[in-house]
Structure 1
Amino acid sequence: MTDNSTQTAGAIDMPAFVDHSHLKVIDLPMLSAFYRQVMGLETIEKSASGETLGVGGRPLLTLTTDGRAARAPRNAPGLFHTAFLVPDRKALGRWLAHAAHGNVPLTGASDHLVSEAIYLDDPEGNGIEIYRDRDRSEWTYVPDGTVKMATRRLDLQALYDEAPKDGWSGQENGTAIGHIHLQVSDIPQADAFFRDVLGLDVMARYPGASFFATGKYHHHVAANVWNSRGQPKRQDGMSGLSDYTIRFNDPARLEAAVKKLDALSIPATRTGSTVSLVDPWGIGLKLTA
């Protein structure tokens, strides 16, 4: 594997970024095999009830099971997709060729102007995006500070044709979680939480969705109501997104968020530099520095 970590630094070198995703699963061996064989992650740590996977020693995804998880309804708040950011277009094409040769079913592919993305689901219906960012010189910012995004058809055949066909042995070093996309119940509530409490900027809006980030990245967190508008909080025991982690490179921003949580009487517990809470939709959230 080549070390292209500097090329994905745009997402994870910001004042805050999504560092980790944790899924509660029904069939741990099956999901582990999928994320290793299809998505190209490697096992970093393993126990009887869980497994942490990542790339180049960097933990990205934890899978846990207690044997009692029930499949979450499609309209429940939770995960829309975990988005794995690869270093460049060549890496995306190499993964596409691997998926095509393995007859991996895809659910979509889009050119978002700032990025090129491919979508699929894991065997338990958890959404996945794998994408590469265009260089920031190709992004278009508008006067209000947001970034222009769209959903256009991605030419998968061209991406496949350009890809090296010399075999694929997993994701390249530098692969990270570029963002996490959530299903929530209400967009104004999402704006109030991610912008006003956690201090992320609104970088784009679609009908029924907001996109939040720090450092003028296109988005570290997205929230939509396309399937989940008005739905109640997640229930304990549901499969899917158990929690996710936002890491603050700037500790002052973490402390500012903690003060706002306190002011709003949002319950949170602190262990060292990590603050754990449950977001407004019943999803676990860890804030760390």
Structure 2
Amino acid sequence: MKAHYLGHVVFYVKDLQRSLTFYRDLLGFKEVGQIFDGAAAALTSGRTHHELLLIQVGDAPGPPSGRRRGLYHIGIKVGDNLAELRAAKQELERAGIAIEGMSDHTVSQSLYLRDPDGNEVELYVDADESLWKNDPAAVVSPIKPLRL
């Protein structure tokens, strides 16, 4: 067996509408429909039928903070160059979303933030793919600070 790509992520969320405001309205995913009597919504970037499914669970406990086993964060590509990442940062700031970190990973440049339920989200742009195609070890290059 060979994995082709990561198909989708499912998040349990406290408030579906609040999460839709973040993922659909701010990050630009398209809502393709709701299921479970409106308690869940599927979203897509257009790459496939859905990359994200949000299921409302109300006041169930959220993700624990700090280091632990399990999901660390999801990465969402938001453009093809630093100008687009800079524009995304400005849009997030206008929306009152705190940027928790910015990193240059050599093969990509990233912003880190939290969704309404405290899940870490990485928004990134890829660097020139020749960097990792010519040197696959570039993906584990030391992380450098990013200034936008």
- TM-score for both structures, normalised by structure 2: 0.81
Aligned partner (choices 78, 94, 106) of residue 86 of structure 1: 78
CA contact (8 A) 1:79 1:127 kept: no
1:57/1:114 Cα in 2 relative to 1: closer, same or farther (>3 Å)? closer
| Alpha-carbon distance in 1 for matches of 2:13, 2:57 | 8
Q: How far off is 1:106 after superposition?
A: 0.7
Q: 2:146 — aligned with what?
A: 154
Aligned partner (choices 90, 96, 107) of residue 103 of structure 1: 96
| Alpha-carbon distance in 2 for matches of 1:67, 1:130 | 26
Q: 1:228 — aligned with what?
A: none
Q: Secondary structure at the match of 2:63?
A: coil
Q: How far off is 1:104 after superposition?
A: 1.7
Aligned partner (choices 54, 60, 67) of residue 69 of structure 1: 60
Q: Give the AA of the match of 2:15.
A: D
- The C-alpha deviation readout for 1:143-186, integer Å capped at 9, x for no partner, is xx633422111112xxxxxxxxxxxxxxxxxxxxxxxxxxxxxx
| Alpha-carbon distance in 2 for matches of 1:78, 1:69 | 17
Q: 2:31 — aligned with what?
A: 43
CA contact (8 A) 1:118 1:131 kept: yes
Larger gyration radius, structure 1 or structure 2: 1
Structure 1 unpaired stretches of 5+: 1-13, 157-289
Aligned partner (choices 115, 119, 127) of residue 120 of structure 2: 127
Q: 1:56 — aligned with what?
A: 46
Q: How far off is 1:15 after superposition?
A: 5.6
Q: How far off is 1:97 after superposition?
A: 2.2
Q: Secondary structure at the match of 2:91?
A: helix
List 4+ stretches of structure 1 deviating above 4 A: none
Q: 1:266 — aligned with what?
A: none
Q: How far off is 1:57 after superposition?
A: 6.6
Which structure exhibits the higher relative contact order, with contacts defined as CA atoms closer than 8 Å and separated by 6 or more residues? Answer: 1
CA contact (8 A) 2:42 2:52 kept: yes
Identity over aligned pairs, percent: 29
Aligned length: 140
Q: Give the AA of the match of 1:152.
A: K
- TM-score for both structures, normalised by structure 1: 0.44
